[in-house]
Amino acid sequence: MGQISGQTIAFHHYDTVIVGSGAAGLNCAVHLYEFMSYKGVKNPQERIVIVTAGLGLGASRMSGSDKQTYYKIGTSPDVPDSAEEFARTLTAAGCCHGDLAFAEAVGSLREFYHLVQVGVPFPTDSMGSFIGYKTDNDPGEAGSDPSRLRLSAHAEGLRRAFERATSAGPKTSKFMTECLQRQLERYGVEIYDNQEVCHLLTVGSAPLLAYARKQGGKRIAGVVTIDKKVLNESNYAINVFLGANIVFAAGGPGELYKASVYPKGQVGIHGLAFKAGLIGENLTESQFGLASIKFRWNVSGTYMQAIPRIFSTDATGKNEREFLTNFFPSMGKLATNIFLKGYQWPFDPQRIENFQSSLIDILVFNETQKGRHVFLDFSHNPTGNNSMEDFDINALEPEAYEYLKKAGALQETPIERLFAMNPLAIEIYKENGIDLYSEPLEIALCAQHNNGGFAVDKWWQSNIPRTFIIGEMAATHGVRRPGGAALNAGQVGGLRAAEYIVNFYDYSSEGKPDYSDKEAEITQQLSQFVSRLESYKRSAGLVPEEVIEEIQSRMTTSAAHIRELNDAGKALQEAVGLYEDIQKNGFKLQGRNGIIRAIQAEHLSLTSVAYLKAIVELLKLSSGSRGSHLVLSEDEGLTIDDWRLPIENRKSQIENHKSKITNRKSQIAVDRGQIHPDIINKATGKALRFKPENKELRDSVLQIEYDEATPDLFRCRTIQVRPMPADRKAFELAWQDYREGKIYMSYRI
Ligand SMILES: Cc1cc2nc3c(=O)[nH]c(=O)nc-3n(C[C@H](O)[C@H](O)[C@H](O)COP(=O)(O)OP(=O)(O)OC[C@H]3O[C@@H](n4cnc5c(N)ncnc54)[C@H](O)[C@@H]3O)c2cc1C
């Protein structure tokens, strides 16, 4: 305990402090305990702590889909897979470091079986084989473009059969957290719950040369939290957790967006991490897709494979419309694309043209932009109109029909088909007060995951020595990732960080960090922190909830799945203005938790500046549409006004439309793609048109770093992606490296 600026502050000392109790953080703690035990460290449980805003919060604990996917190396009994092949899939769409992808591949089965051992109920057959299926952006995915995936000839031959995806049901990641938590309880590792991380304590100064990183330079010495349960008007309930090693596993910044399927309250700590000097990568690569909004849940997989009717109403729930029918040439095509949304779940600009499944995402978005509400109706099949026949399961394209036939799901109605394929998918909504048998399910196009985050090396160590980043906070994915790869990356990252911490860094005999020579720095920061909290008590100032609302609206409008340089530039200036306003005017607090919301609003505001700055810089590089966002073009390109097909003479219109596309392909090297005349570019007032991907950028990664001296508060640079390691040593040499600890000689980011 210590008294600083009138506040009683509790100090806690550990070897390793982990922030976040999602699947990544809990798993890292389990591994730390296990590695320490193997090394003979006494009472490892006393050296590790998890600090979390909520054990019951976060994406792992609260999110899922019809069968939430875990992506690992294939375990099919008759189809071989390899780490190289797996890593090639992870890096296929570019902007992904080869060493990270390779480590995720190599560690994949070890971590999967680790989860099996702690009790996650991944299904097996009677011989014990773990059963798999294909997922989005998976080479086994039907319709995936092999040239994009750069598979070897061997893999190409097998591309339908890796079966890398598996699932323990809608709540896979929840089960993971529950099982890992139980393991930690058995080990006796302490979890401090209800701790909102509000400040990161830094000591020393940057920059640091890679070879000297172990000795000194800038360090993150600990985290400052407010205990949300104890906090009151006079007592800020401040805890300081000091650690020799810090592991950040605080998840993605879900609260950045208005349209979001992240669980409510998933703020993350990106703004704090940037301020502490951590470098971001690939922030531009978020993933967006269709999700239910009353209860936040992804409507991927069997929800769409059951082929529900999709309709919209006005704001009052009246004026029902089958808004998709005018955009597809036939019910067979429309229904097949609804089906395909199941495993082509994320919005993908490369799947809009020629009546592909992401046309549905954009049309849903367009409808909601008009103030209308969009629903999935599982009690009825899709309905036609004057020119489009009603649903007929026999008219589905072979891929969809064969899948449903094999799955025993050729029943009359979508709810019957869903029940046949996945009754748990119905159950999860029932648990949350929604009866899919009788109630249409409201959906929207939502932010779901950030492939980017903070830069890490092949041991998941950040640019600041002894600070590690794992889970969704780590920038380990590229432009595109197979569904389920996030959970695999989170587990492998925790394993790698734990192994490095235990085997590379020294232990003090008490298992506590020694910051005695940094006391003055720490005290000064804490007293500044308390003063900041005091300043929030002003009667004038900004209202935290309104600030968060402003950030979310701006991010969903200008930094989500549709982007344009001028608009993003304007949004960036507004975001910087808001952050400066907060610094100048502070907050006006409401209620007991007002101070927490104020802190969140402040660092979320800096996070939004970082994301917008990265987006602007990437757009300036003419990145084009990629991953899960499309980039608007103002130039003349191919005009596809006829995405809405005239009702009469539909077939010949399609042929005209197709030949128009073919004839003009040569003219559209740079710009192409208008989605629909109703979808307007705000800047030009004209129909929205989008740019193709600039594939030259696939070998680079955009980094971003906080710099308060620059007008936009951040500076960016691009770096080359690190290659996949190709050296394979003979056993004796590799063994020697291992014995001598040479495998832990890391290098800079
Ligand atoms: C709807 C949905 C479906 C998904 N489906 C899949 C899927 O099928 N397959 C897949 O691989 N991935 C999926 N994902 C992504 C995946 O669930 C997440 O990326 C993953 O669970 C993140 O785990 P994590 O441990 O990094 O973070 P989280 O599980 O988000 O945990 C973050 C932790 O940090 C804590 N925390 C946050 N902010 C603070 C703070 N300020 N102070 C203190 N603590 C804090 C939280 O309380 C929480 O304990 C899905 C995501 C969503 C939203």
Q: Are 123 and 168 in contact (CB under 8 A)?
A: yes
Question: Could you please report the per-residue DSSP string of 70-125?
Answer: EE-S---TTS---HHHHHHHHHTTSS--HHHHHHHHHHHHHHHHHHHHHT----B-
Tens-digit pLDDT profile for residues 559-586 = 999 999 999 999 999 999 999 999 999 9
Question: Could you please report the per-residue DSSP string of 313-328?
Answer: E-TTS-S-B-TTGGGS
* 603 alpha carbon – ligand 1 mean position (Å): 18
* 452 alpha carbon – ligand 1 mean position (Å): 14
Instruction: Please tell me the distance from the alpha carbon of residue 26 to that of residue 175, in angstroms, as a whole number.
Output: 12
251: left (phi over 0), alpha (psi -120 to 50) or beta: left
Tens-digit pLDDT profile for residues 466-496 = 999 999 999 999 999 998 999 999 999 999 9
pLDDT reading at 148 higher than 50: no
* 79 alpha carbon – ligand 1 mean position (Å): 32
According to DSSP, residue 499 is labeled H
Strand 373-377 and strand 441-450: the pairing is: antiparallel
Residue closest to 605 by CA, chosen among 713, 472, 701 = 713
- pLDDT level of residue 633 (50, 70, 90 thresholds): confident
366: left (phi over 0), alpha (psi -120 to 50) or beta: alpha
Tens-digit pLDDT profile for residues 114-127 = 999 999 999 999 99
> Given CA atoms 399, 402, 407, 412 in this order, what sign does their dihedral have?
positive
Residue type, 117: Q
Residue 748: both structure tokens together = 């800079």
2 has which bridge partners? 9
Total residue length of the chain: 749
Tens-digit pLDDT profile for residues 646-677 = 333 334 444 444 444 433 333 333 334 566 66
From 30, 55, 60, the mutation candidate for ligand 1 (largest count of ligand atoms within 8 A of CB) is: 60
From 31, 449, 603, the mutation candidate for ligand 1 (largest count of ligand atoms within 8 A of CB) is: 449
pLDDT reading at 157 higher than 60: no
Supply the mean pLDDT for the chain.
88
Residue-level pLDDT at 158: 42
Q: Are 539 and 598 in contact (CB under 8 A)?
A: no
- Is any atom of ligand 1 closer than 6 Å to the C-beta of 244? no
Highest mean pLDDT among 511-515, 555-559, 672-676: 555-559
- Is any atom of ligand 1 closer than 6 Å to the C-beta of 200? no
Complete edge-to-edge strand list for the sheet that includes strand 286-292: 297-298, 286-292, 441-450, 373-377, 309-313
**Helix, strand or coil for residue 295?**
coil
pLDDT reading at 146 higher than 80: no
Helix segments in 536-628, DSSP class H: 544-558, 565-585, 594-620
Residue-level pLDDT at 535: 85
> Given CA atoms 177, 180, 186, 192 in this order, what sign does their dihedral have?
negative
Average pLDDT of 10-36? 97
* 390 alpha carbon – ligand 1 mean position (Å): 40
- Is any atom of ligand 1 closer than 6 Å to the C-beta of 21? yes
* 252 alpha carbon – ligand 1 mean position (Å): 6
* Cβ neighbours of 257 (radius 10 Å): 25
From 30, 51, 68, 473, the mutation candidate for ligand 1 (largest count of ligand atoms within 8 A of CB) is: 68
* Cβ neighbours of 648 (radius 10 Å): 9
* 329 alpha carbon – ligand 1 mean position (Å): 39
Residue-level pLDDT at 637: 38
Residue closest to 268 by CA, chosen among 594, 529, 631, 25 = 25
Average pLDDT of 229-239? 90
Query: Where does residue 207 rank: exposed (0-12), middle (13-18), buried (19+ CB within 10 A)?
Result: exposed
Residue nearest to atom 11 of ligand 1 (CA): 484
From 19, 89, 173, the mutation candidate for ligand 1 (largest count of ligand atoms within 8 A of CB) is: 173
* Cβ neighbours of 79 (radius 10 Å): 15
* 63 alpha carbon – ligand 1 mean position (Å): 8
Residue 370: both structure tokens together = 């008009």
* 486 alpha carbon – ligand 1 mean position (Å): 9
